[in-house]
Chain A
Amino acid sequence: MPDSSPAARYPAAFIGRGLFPIYIQLATIFRRLIENGEWAVGRQVPTHEQLGLQFGVNTTTVRKAVDLLVREGLLRAYRKRGTFVMTKPARQEWYDIPTSLHAALDTPGDVEIETRRASMPRQLPFTLTPSKSDGSGYRLLRRIHRRRGQPICLENCFLRQDVIQGAKPATLKRASLALVHDAEPNEMAHANATLTFGIADKETARQLNISLNAPIAILHQRATATGGGILMDSTSYFRGDCVRVFERIKP
């Protein structure tokens, strides 16, 4: 039977490669072991000597990695008694990214959408061409979604101008697709959503209060009119640590 202890599954081969100091690499492995429960909360972790042998690094490196997790509050070292797991990395409650029309029209009760600016866009994304039939242009809404006060998503939404013509402030708090659906209930022919993944640039990081390069999920929603042309084209940048797509795949 294959050995399935952490030592076997995490051979030392990959430690020490790449850009990062070894103790930082080691810390990511320890963090994962705590996260997936292999190092259970309340339990003692192997000694520095044992870990050094397992991962093929010296005990000083182990100590530095452990120190990093001690500072994060995940581990605690007791003199003479060893190192124990205190808690798991904090996990926020999931925010479910909508993948159905019903969900996309709705805003969860604890989420508030603020439209910070509605303006004539200086430039339209190449996916949008101003509809020629009625000569109306687009408005760009810059929006921020907050869950219990914490920014969770930045949205740039291009809406056909007539959709939000004379919209009341209360209306502007609704999900973008709902704005279209309310204003033109019969005109929406298609709507689709695409989710991709990336990392936060400086501005996104600042506004979402996350680190540069932190993972983000990018939701692109688009609604097409029956007569052709785009009613709405919206791009939302979600902080990656608390969003998911959840679906039943077999009823």
Chain B
Amino acid sequence: MATQARRKSARRRARIEKAARRDLSGNGLNDGIPIYAQLILHFRHQIETGRWVEGQNIPTLLDLAAEFGVARATVRQALGFLEREGLILSRRGRGTVVIGRPRNDLWFSVPAAWGPLDPERGQLTAEILEFGPDGRLPDAPSHIRGTLAARYGVVRRLVKREGVPYLVGATYIDSRIVEEIGADEIYKAQGYQTVEQSRLFRGATADQSVTVDVADAEIAYLLDITLNAPIVVVERWVLDSAGTLISYSEGRYRSDFVRIERRLL
């Protein structure tokens, strides 16, 4: 009996892994993501971007199955998920219609200057995920120049805007600043406010980098998005006049909430 169950689970695993290896676009590994989950992301994006128009029918099950070379059951499974999200409605004999769009009017533009990153702080609520005197500075996506301080205090927050989670931000601050300004202040204020108050900030330089990544299980959970959904990473680092990294912050945003606008001429 046990052997049989084992065999069955081995077969199931083999099947999942085979699916995982089979990328819909035929370009190799897709991180072992089940096909229906890939379809959900794709279909949702079609609605978000307006390619599937609200009030209109989406392509038929048959067409979608043919387009992606998958079983109809797989497509149905993905569409069922979107139906439970309230984005589409399937009507017997009349096709499936788009009835809603995921909310994406909460975007903000990343500024190219020192100061607050997010506008309209009033609408924001923050939940502290981590707060401590001994932060382990991560190996950042964009490499950091400068020498490291002896120790960094860390604050990590989940920020919601109008109740919608949109940012997981971590700020690492040189312990000398923590001592100078006080841990209470760091707990309460935004990272940039704390750093600005420090004497070490005089003559300091700051850089910013914006990159794209995908959500791991924790970020997906906190931001209430799908695993592997795109996220935007905004990093800022401050070097004092001696070239020491006195502050590093990393914000992981829902990608549909962020844009960058620059005047070139």
Q: How large is the interface on A (under 10, 10 to 19, 20 to 34, 35 or more residues)?
A: 35 or more
What is the distance, in angstroms, from A231's C-beta to the closest C-beta of chain B?
11
Q: How far does the alpha carbon of A122 sit from the alpha carbon of B55 in the complex, in Å?
A: 26
Question: Judging by beta carbons under 8 Å apart, are A14 and B221 in contact?
Answer: yes
Binary per-residue interface labels of chain B (96-126) against chain A in the complex, 1 for a CB within 8 Å, 0 otherwise: 0000000000000011111000000000000
Q: Does A90 contact B (CB under 8 A)?
A: no
Question: Judging by beta carbons under 8 Å apart, are A206 and B207 in contact?
Answer: no
Binary per-residue interface labels of chain A (193-237) against chain B in the complex, 1 for a CB within 8 Å, 0 otherwise: 111111111100110011111011100010100000000000000
Q: Does A18 contact B (CB under 8 A)?
A: yes
Binary per-residue interface labels of chain B (182-221) against chain A in the complex, 1 for a CB within 8 Å, 0 otherwise: 0000000000000000000000111111111111111011
List chain A residues, Cβ under 8 A from B218: 10, 14, 29, 32
Which residues of B20-55 are within 8 A (CB) of A?
20, 23-34, 36-38, 40-42, 45, 49
Q: Does A149 contact B (CB under 8 A)?
A: no
Question: Judging by beta carbons under 8 Å apart, are A246 and B112 in contact?
Answer: no
Q: Does A166 contact B (CB under 8 A)?
A: no
Question: Judging by beta carbons under 8 Å apart, are B32 and A68 in contact?
Answer: yes
List chain B residues, Cβ under 8 A from A98: 264
List chain A residues, Cβ under 8 A from B221: 13-14, 17-18
Q: Does A77 contact B (CB under 8 A)?
A: no
What is the distance, in angstroms, from A154's C-beta to the closest C-beta of chain B?
14
Q: How far does the alpha carbon of A217 sit from the alpha carbon of B260 in the complex, in Å?
A: 11
Q: Which of A107-115, A135-143, A184-192 contacts B (4 or more CB under 8 A)?
A: A184-192
Question: Judging by beta carbons under 8 Å apart, are B212 and A192 in contact?
Answer: no
Q: How large is the interface on B (under 10, 10 to 19, 20 to 34, 35 or more residues)?
A: 35 or more
CB within 8 Å for A246 and B205 given contacts A28-B228, A188-B265, A213-B41: no
Question: Judging by beta carbons under 8 Å apart, are A206 and B205 in contact?
Answer: no
Question: Judging by beta carbons under 8 Å apart, are B45 and A99 in contact?
Answer: no
Q: Which of B86-94, B134-142, B159-167, B173-181 contacts A (4 or more CB under 8 A)?
A: B134-142
Q: Does A248 contact B (CB under 8 A)?
A: yes
Q: Which residues of B contact A (CB under 8 A)?
A: 13, 16, 20, 23-34, 36-38, 40-42, 45, 49, 67-68, 81, 110-114, 129-136, 138-142, 154, 156, 204-218, 220-222, 226-232, 236, 238, 255-256, 258-265
Q: Given A35-B139, A248-B206, 20 other A-B contacts at CB below 8 A?
A: A1-B133, A4-B132, A18-B220, A19-B36, A20-B33, A24-B32, A25-B227, A195-B210, A196-B258, A198-B255, A199-B42, A199-B229, A202-B68, A211-B27, A211-B30, A212-B38, A215-B230, A247-B112, A249-B207, A250-B204
